[in-house]
Amino acid sequence: MSSKAKGASPGGGDRINSELFTLTYGALVRHLLLDLESPEEVNKQLDKMGQNIGIRLVDDFLAKTNTGRCRNFREAAKTIAETGFRMFLGCSAKVTQIDDKECKMVLSENPLTDFVELPEKLQPLSYCSLLCGVIRGALEQISMKVECEISKDPLKGDERFELHMRLVEYVNEEYPFKDD
């Protein structure tokens, strides 16, 4: 997932067809299912891949949007929902039920699942757990430890796609070397 996803990315850049993006993600999940066999393992792997993407993506995001420091969890959640999703996924998200430690994000649409139907035997698969990883990885880079999970998933019969994000802690900035 990169800035190449369809949608209004403020920083411009090349764009590719969103279907290609959706299908590529599908192929990736498919391949993981073949390789790892258990859906639970696939969830974990997707989450880990997402985290690695997030760690890089945050710099791209900062560079393109020129966002200043998010001083707290609320600001960070709003920035992700309002700018992040629009920029990288081409869809908008709304933050609901926000307080200092927890929030929920509702996505207007989810391009990742455009052509997806979850078969009966793959019910434990959480198809979009990559997104959770991305958010966790990105916030980790700006010193916020969060937990993120999919709380409502249309693939499992819910009405909308909803992410649940919970703040674990703010990481202090400390001197990394021992004093000699």
Partner 1 sequence: MVCFNMYIFNRNGVCLHYSEWSRPKNVKDGAGTLVDDAKMMFGLLFSLKNVCTAIDPTREVKRPLGAPTPHGEGCSFRSFTTDCYKLHYLDSPSGIKIVLNTSKDVGSLEKQMWVIYSSLYCEYIVKNPLYTVGEPFECEQFVQKLNKFVATLG
**Residues lying near partner 1 in the complex (CB under 8 A):** 2, 52, 55-56, 58-60, 62-64, 66-72, 141-144, 170-177
Torsion of CA 95, 98, 103, 106, to 10 degrees: -20
Length of the chain: 180
Smallest distance, partner 1 to C-beta of residue 14, A: 12
Closer to partner 1 by Cβ: residue 31 or 160? 31
Quick one: DSSP state of residue 56? H
Closer to partner 1 by Cβ: residue 159 or 174? 174
Smallest distance, partner 1 to C-beta of residue 169, A: 9
- Which of 138, 91, 97 has the alpha carbon at shortest distance from 113? 91
- Which of 127, 139, 128 has the alpha carbon at shortest distance from 165? 139
Smallest distance, partner 1 to C-beta of residue 66, A: 8
Task: Please give the radius of gyration of the chain, using alpha carbons only, rounded to the nearest integer.
Answer: 17
Closer to partner 1 by Cβ: residue 39 or 137? 137
Quick one: DSSP state of residue 26? H
Closer to partner 1 by Cβ: residue 58 or 112? 58
Closer to partner 1 by Cβ: residue 1 or 106? 1
Q: Give the strands of the sheet with 144-152, arranged side by side.
A: 93-96, 102-107, 161-170, 144-152
Smallest distance, partner 1 to C-beta of residue 88, A: 13
Smallest distance, partner 1 to C-beta of residue 113, A: 25
